[in-house]
Amino acid sequence: MDPELLTLMEPLMAAAAELEPPAIGDVATRRERATPFFEALGAMRGSISGVEMSRHTVTAADGTELDLAWYFPTSEPSGAAVLYLHGGGMIYSLAETRPGYDAVLRSYVAATGTPMLMVDYRVAPEHPDPTPVEDCYAALRWLAEHAAELDADPARLAVAGDSAGGGLAAGVSLLARDRGGPALTAQLLIYPMLDDHTTTPDPGLAPELLTWNYDDNITGWGALLGDRAGGDDVSIYAAPARAQDLAGLPPTYIDVGDLDIFRDEDIAYAARLSAAGVPTELHVHPGCPHAFEALAPTAAVSTRVVADRIRRLRAI
């Protein structure tokens, strides 16, 4: 691990080592432990000025009303707009993660002047595939339809997300391409969860350094896909790594650490995007585990990766 990250993350790693690991499939324990964790991540960032938030709703494909949060700068907005999809392994909703992601979105909006929409999409196992990605696509359609009244240009829309949210962002981009819109100018995929086949431990990755491990991943994909996980009957919109044709997707940014179990699937996806003619920027950060910049925001490598994301967001 990056030495500075290791120093900053040692207290967290020591606390995690004291806990009995939850069994594969134990969503309840993972959710229980996630709630104080995301509260701590939000508190770590402190208050962020210059950003306001308004609440809205969107009707999902099955008629369910979903909550939306629109984060916008108090200064003149950039004119672009981003749908940001939160992470959580397909099993954590905003009920567990909101304090952390409220701070994340406020930070990005304050730094870029670009407003962001966050949707409280439904999660597995209560709401398995295709509900999560369809909820996210409904939010994108809502953003495109309301862009003018939100002071955003409908021709300057992007989708972004991290971890499971990065996988959902990739799925939404595929849906938007295959359903004829809304048009996207970019997708920002932050250590995205793309491939339900990532279940066999890599002997080169020390288990104690994995902040999202293989048991967690099997649990998340199993909750989303049930018995279909790892089989032949899985939609490309649920697991975008399965898509054979990546042509026509928007310019893409991907970053991942090399101590992340998603490393290989993210590198492969970036290479296939580039081969399909999609302008693709890929960063692989040595010595960095999953969600490193959230766990150690003051580290030099965290500052660099966030600066790269801000640069791409400003370019939308």
Q: Distance between CA atoms of 76 and 114, rounded to whole angstroms?
A: 9
C-alpha–C-alpha distance, residues 55 and 42, integer Å: 19
Q: CA-to-CA distance for 93 and 123, rounded, in angstroms? A: 6
- CB count within 10 Å of CB 314 equals 13
Q: What is the DSSP letter of 127?
A: S
Smallest CA-to-CA distance from 145 within 50, 229, 81 is with 81
Q: b/e string for 303-313 if b means 16 or more Cβ within 10 A?
A: eebbebbbebb
Distance CA 160, CA 177 (A): 15
Nearest to 82 by CA among 147, 17, 33, 174: 147
Residue closest to 86 by CA, chosen among 65, 72, 71, 64: 71
Tokens, residue 15: 């606390």
The one catalytic residue in 78, 163, 173, 302 is 163
Report the 10 Å Cβ neighbour count for 45.
16
The answer to whether residue 163 is catalytic is yes
- Tell me the two tokens of residue 194: 């793309």
In the block, residue with structure tokens 């939000």: 42
> Which positions are annotated as active-site residues?
163
